Chain A
């Protein structure tokens, strides 16, 4: 059948997926992403292209940004939990209404 061919192709893709797998470079350098760093073959050299004062300021800014991100991520947890619980409640509501059960003929049909 046609759909069997489709499933076979999909399964082949799943197995071949791992062929391209490679681990990333473990030595990670933290730096701001800009058009210069994104174009550069050697981004590390660009990141180090600062005088001492600028570098100190950049480090302080980075630390401040990281603290903001950490706080925002932490604050978002409550909303995410509420969204997930709301979705669960809504699906339970639909299930109560539409879960398959014995047919009921309406008054006009009876």
Chain B
């Protein structure tokens, strides 16, 4: 075993990092966060390769992607990147669900919950900017929704006018590949450090004193990751993702990716302002959650109410996604950039 000398002259080895964690860390529910992180690493690697072939201009963006996917390996790589992004959104919602079900936001873990919420919103921002980078009809419509929603916010007009114009794709590209990854690291590092300091949250349904080494937990995370992303690689080969024609202004004919379809349904009902207000309400709900359900513990009536409310909201969101998927696209916007 390799060892290094500390300033005090005491030797310590890699083995010292193999600290004890509760036995339930080996279950899938407590490995989802790690599997999601593994997916982010895969996204970074495939994203770097694709960036080498991408032209971040209004006229060149879509053509550079079409050129890249004309090669079967390029087609598979892009499809793998997109499918992995889908799976990460899926997994992060499962991770959130497990945290809420087990009440892992309570007590000393409250602060880490806030970092987790920031990471959740960043994941959606990644997904959104990734969609716009294609600069096809779907990407353009998504971008215009963002611009028109931003203009509703005070001073949002200034941000929107900065984003519009010939450099729009370059700015979205820098956001997706530089700004968001830096923000991700900014919130991910304290998230992981706090997890180490606070210890893994308990499983309230099974109190166990058994411990295992963290290396065993990491082995499980790698095992789950290889199985899941191996299947994603298969999906990418079997179902390559498409690039829509266009983009055309003055017409709205696509729908956003599945993760945003509930927002789309709310926009249909309440107008463009729903795109701003709904995420704020969700954020507020997450922020106050540890304050309304903290001291009572995971066995309490308050926690059961929180859990059942969450499951009902998830049910409504999934219902809205299915409803929008089965109904024709609706025109919401002015659809002109000028």
Contacts and interface: CB of A to CB of B under 8 A. Distances in A.
Interface in B198-231: 203-210
Interface in A56-107: 62, 64-66, 68-70, 72-73, 76-77, 79-81, 83-88, 90-91, 94-95, 97-106
B246 A33 contact: yes
Contact of A20 (B157, B245, B299, B318): B157
Interface in B82-119: 86, 90, 93-94, 97-98, 101-103
Contacts of B153: 13, 16-17, 20
Contacts of B97: 91, 94-95
B165 A84 contact: no
Contact of A25 (B90, B239, B329, B336): B336
Contacts of A7: 284, 287-288
A65 B207 contact: no
A99 B206 CA distance: 11
Contacts of B303: 100
A54 interface: no
Interface of A, helix, strand, loop or mixed by DSSP: helix
Contacts of A22: 151
Interface centre among A21, A90, A94 (most CB of B within 10 A): A94
B254 interface: yes
B18 interface: no
A19 B288 contact: no
A39 interface: yes
A28 B325 contact: no
B334 A25 contact: yes
A108 B244 contact: no
A40 B338 CA distance: 7
Contacts of A108: 208-210
Contacts of A10: 280, 283-284
Contacts of A35: 57-59, 166
B72 interface: no
Contacts of B249: 29-33, 37, 43
A88 B288 contact: no
B168 interface: yes
A102 B165 CA distance: 59
Contacts of A81: 322, 325-326
B79 interface: no
B140 A33 contact: yes
Nearest to B271: A21
A68 B245 contact: yes
30 contacts: A7-B287, A10-B280, A10-B283, A13-B153, A21-B272, A21-B273, A24-B148, A24-B333, A24-B335, A28-B336, A33-B247, A41-B338, A43-B337, A64-B245, A65-B137, A65-B246, A70-B253, A73-B254, A77-B325, A77-B326, A83-B86, A84-B325, A87-B93, A94-B97, A98-B101, A98-B205, A100-B303, A104-B205, A104-B207, A108-B209
Interface of B: 27, 29, 57-59, 86, 90, 93-94, 97-98, 101-103, 137, 140, 148, 151-154, 156-157, 164-166, 168, 203-210, 239, 242, 244-251, 253-255, 258, 261, 272-273, 276-277, 280, 283-284, 287-288, 291, 298-299, 303-304, 307, 311, 314-315, 318, 321-322, 325-326, 329, 333-338
